[in-house]
C-alpha cells in the first residue's frame, strides 16, 4: 500500500511522523522537499542532461567543431605567416645591421687613412715650406750681397770718376799755371819729333 502513495501524501506522513518524534528529538528531524518534475515525468537532472545532449548534437550537426578547427587552423596559418614575415624582417634587419657595421668600420678605416694622408701632406707642406724658406733666404742673401757688391762697385766707380775728375781739374789748373802756349808748342814739337 505504500507503493501507490503519491509523493505529497508521503511528505504529509513524514511530516506527521516528524511532529510525533519531534517532541522527543527535534534535532534529528529532516525535511524532505519534493523535486519538480517536467510534465510529472522527468527530474531536472534528466532535463538538463537531455538539453546538453541536444545542444551538443545541434553543434555537431551545424559543423561547429569544423568551424572552430577551421578558425583555429586559419589563426595558426596567420601566426605562421606572421612568424615567417618576422623571420624575413629579422634577416633583413640583421643584413642591414651588418651592412651598416661594415660601413662604419670602412668609414673608420677611411677616416684613419684620411688623417694619415693629411698628416703626410702636412709634413710634406712643412718640409717644402722649410726648403722654400731656406731657398728664399739664400736667394735674398745672394741678392743682398749682389746689391752690396753693385753698390760697392758703383761707389768705387763713382769715387774713381770723382778722383779722375778732380785729377783732371787739378792737372788743368797746374798745366795752366805752369805752362804757356809757347811752352806747349815746344812739348808738341818734341813729341812730334820723337815719333
Residue 151 covered by a domain: no
Higher-scoring residue by pLDDT: 31, 134 = 134
32/10 Cα distance (integer angstroms): 10
Long-range contacts of 4-9 (CB under 8 A, 24+ apart): 7/34, 8/34
pLDDT value at residue 188: 78
pLDDT value at residue 78: 94
Looking at residues 152-170, what average pLDDT do you find? 88
Check whether 189 has a pLDDT greater than 60: yes
Tell me the three cell numbers of residue 88: 624575413
Residue 12 covered by a domain: yes
pLDDT value at residue 16: 60
Looking at residues 91-117, what average pLDDT do you find? 92
Domain count, the chain: 1
Span of 8-12, 154-158, 172-176 with lowest mean pLDDT: 8-12
Residue 170 covered by a domain: no
- The number of angstroms, rounded, from the C-alpha of 42 to the middle of its chain's C-alpha atoms is 79
Per-chain mean pLDDT for the chain: 81
SS (H, E, C) the chain: CCCCCCHHHHHHHHHHHHHHHHCCCCCCCCCCCCCCCECCCECHHHHHHHHHHHHHHHHHHCCHHHHHHHHHHHHHHHHHHHHHHHHHHHHHHHHHHHHHHHHHHHHHHHHHHHHHHHHHHHHHHHHHHHHHHHHHHHHHHHHHHHHHHHHHHHHHHHHHHHHHHHHHHHHHHHHHHHCCHHHHHHHHHHHHHCC
Higher-scoring residue by pLDDT: 107, 31 = 107
This prediction's pTM: 0.35
Span of 61-75, 84-98, 123-137 with lowest mean pLDDT: 61-75
Residue 162 covered by a domain: no
62/67 Cα distance (integer angstroms): 9
Residue 22 covered by a domain: yes
Residue 4 covered by a domain: yes
Domain that holds residue 29: 1-34
Cβ-based neighbours of 34, under 8 Å, separated by 6 or more: 7, 8, 11
Determine contact, residues 28/1, Cβ cutoff 8 Å. Answer: no
Looking at residues 155-183, what average pLDDT do you find? 82
CA nearest 73: which of 62, 83, 65?
Answer: 65
Looking at residues 112-128, what average pLDDT do you find? 92
pLDDT value at residue 53: 92
Residue 46 covered by a domain: no
Residue 23 covered by a domain: yes
Percent of the chain exceeding pLDDT 90 equals: 32
Span of 10-24, 40-54, 178-192 with lowest mean pLDDT: 10-24
pLDDT value at residue 5: 47
Check whether 83 has a pLDDT greater than 90: yes
pLDDT value at residue 192: 84
Looking at residues 60-77, what average pLDDT do you find? 86
Count CB neighbours of 98 within 10 A: 10
Amino acid at each position: 500500500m505504500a507503493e501507490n502513495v503519491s509523493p505529497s501524501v508521503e511528505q504529509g506522513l513524514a511530516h506527521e511522523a516528524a511532529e510525533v518524534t519531534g517532541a522527543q528529538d527535534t534535532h534529528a528531524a529532516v525535511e524532505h522537499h519534493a523535486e519538480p518534475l517536467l510534465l510529472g515525468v522527468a527530474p531536472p537532472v534528466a532535463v538538463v542532461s537531455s538539453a546538453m545532449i541536444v545542444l551538443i548534437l545541434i553543434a555537431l550537426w551545424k559543423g561547429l567543431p569544423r568551424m572552430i578547427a577551421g578558425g583555429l587552423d586559419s589563426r595558426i596559418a596567420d601566426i605562421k605567416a606572421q612568424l615567417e614575415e618576422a623571420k624575413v624582417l629579422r634577416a633583413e634587419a640583421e643584413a642591414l645591421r651588418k651592412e651598416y657595421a661594415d660601413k662604419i668600420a670602412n668609414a673608420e678605416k677611411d677616416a684613419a687613412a684620411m688623417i694619415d694622408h693629411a698628416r703626410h701632406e702636412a709634413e710634406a707642406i712643412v718640409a717644402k715650406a722649410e726648403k722654400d724658406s731656406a731657398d728664399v733666404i739664400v736667394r735674398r742673401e745672394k741678392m743682398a750681397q749682389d746689391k752690396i757688391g753693385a753698390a760697392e762697385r758703383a761707389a768705387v766707380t763713382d769715387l774713381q770718376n770723382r778722383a779722375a775728375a778732380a785729377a783732371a781739374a787739378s792737372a788743368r789748373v797746374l798745366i795752366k799755371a805752369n805752362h804757356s802756349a809757347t811752352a806747349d808748342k815746344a812739348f808738341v814739337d818734341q813729341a812730334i819729333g820723337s815719333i
